[in-house]
Amino acid sequence: MINLETPRKFRAFVNQAHQVAAEMLRPNSRAYDLAEHAYPKELDMLAAMVDGLGASGTGTGAGASGVRRSEAEADGGVKNGSNLSSVLSIMEMCWGDVGLLLSMPRQGLGNSAIASVASDGQLKRFEGVWAGMAITEPGCGSDSAAIQTTARLDGDHYVLNGEKIFVTAGGRCDAVVVWATLDKSLGRAAIKSFVVFKDTPGLTVERLEHKLGIRSSDTATIRLENCRVPAENLLGTPEVNADKGFAGVMQTFDNTRPLVAAMAVGCARAALELTRDLLAEAGVEPDYDRPVHRQPAAAASYLQMEADWEAAYLLTLQAAWMADNGRPNSLQASMAKAKAGRIGNDITLRCVELAGSLGYTEHELLEKWARDSKILDIFEGTQQIQQLIIARRLLGKSSTELK
């Protein structure tokens, strides 16, 4: 049975994450938001510390853990593992700054993909590699099955051709996990993921995007032209199984969607806490012993936001806990991502409104959190895609039956 209290063994690590967020991330938040594309050098020391904690067994990374179902099933019983630890620490870190968390070396979304579907040998080979995730294409957004980037087997290498956009950390990472199709005629079943190092001939970073939010995190466009990748860099099995579809690569999302949900939960909490302080200074404080309709409008709005935040928080914990315990969590991962993504953006925008001029100007970080939160409702599957996945799961429909 799931226990919704923070596990005792994680409390010290979560407290450390909050301390880092308060003393390192938030103080640098505005500076790197204004200095877009400048690399936050302060993160090198933080990444080294996270690596040390992971090596010593006293902590896990801030997002590089994966859904290893076989390990969770083999242990038996109930466990609180790396997925739950990751979402708890990410909530704290994103209370500090979302963009800086996404800029942390060796903690990219590509690292989560490797951790989820790589073989044991690949895990050792790619240890210490900072990996970005390259899925989206100019003609392919949330429908991952429509990927046009191709991978053709040529001897002991695959030859990749295509273009990827919105690659988080694409300019700074060591490698990118590229989704490509082995045969377009076979549909989604032929889509595989490949670890492609940035120094591979044929891979070029075309440009870095200017963005609304998470400006401290670089977002790149990457082109692949006859890029030869060792066959051993294909994650998972090279066989195309039409019955299984592309469940192997999609398993990545079972891990990364709760992580993104955790980012939204952490960012929203930051906005709620600051707004509560600002309302208190104005003489408005929510009263939990009185009906909402008998309280000031600002207090009533705040109470509703708190309730929405709590729902997103609990859904995120559930999705991560299920992954740790080897239980299929695709439905819960999408529910957490959909709820947290929406309420994260909704809460931060409403907090801007409640704070008035303080919320709209750069005097406080509220306007920045509102900008940062928008991407959390978009990447790793938009709000609309999550709702579609949830409907398919609940109704027992396939992707061809319910579009």
Report d(CA 298, CA 378) in Å as an integer.
28
Q: Which residue has the tokens 């809460």?
A: 347
Burial classification of residue 152, based on how many CB atoms lie within 10 Å of its CB (0-12 exposed, 13-18 middle, 19 or more buried)? middle
Q: Where are the beta strands (DSSP E) in 257-330?
A: none
d(CA 119, CA 237): 9
Closest C-alpha to 133, from 146, 145, 125, 144: 144
Find the helix packing angle between 366-375 and 26-34, rounded to 10°.
70
Question: What sign does the CA torsion over 44, 253, 249, 191 have?
Answer: negative
- Concatenated DSSP letters for 126-146? TTT--EEEE--BTTBSS-GGG
Using CA atoms, how far apart are residues 393 and 385, in angstroms rounded to an integer? Answer: 12
Place of tokens 């993909």: 113
Dist CA 229 CA 397 (whole Å): 36
Asked if 115 and 66 count as a contact pair (C-beta separation under 8 A), the reply is yes
Q: Report the SS3 class of residue 269.
A: helix
**397 vs 186, 187, 401, CA distance in Å?**
21, 18, 6
Residue numbers annotated as active site: 380
Interior angle at CA 177, CA 99 and CA 152, nearest 5: 150
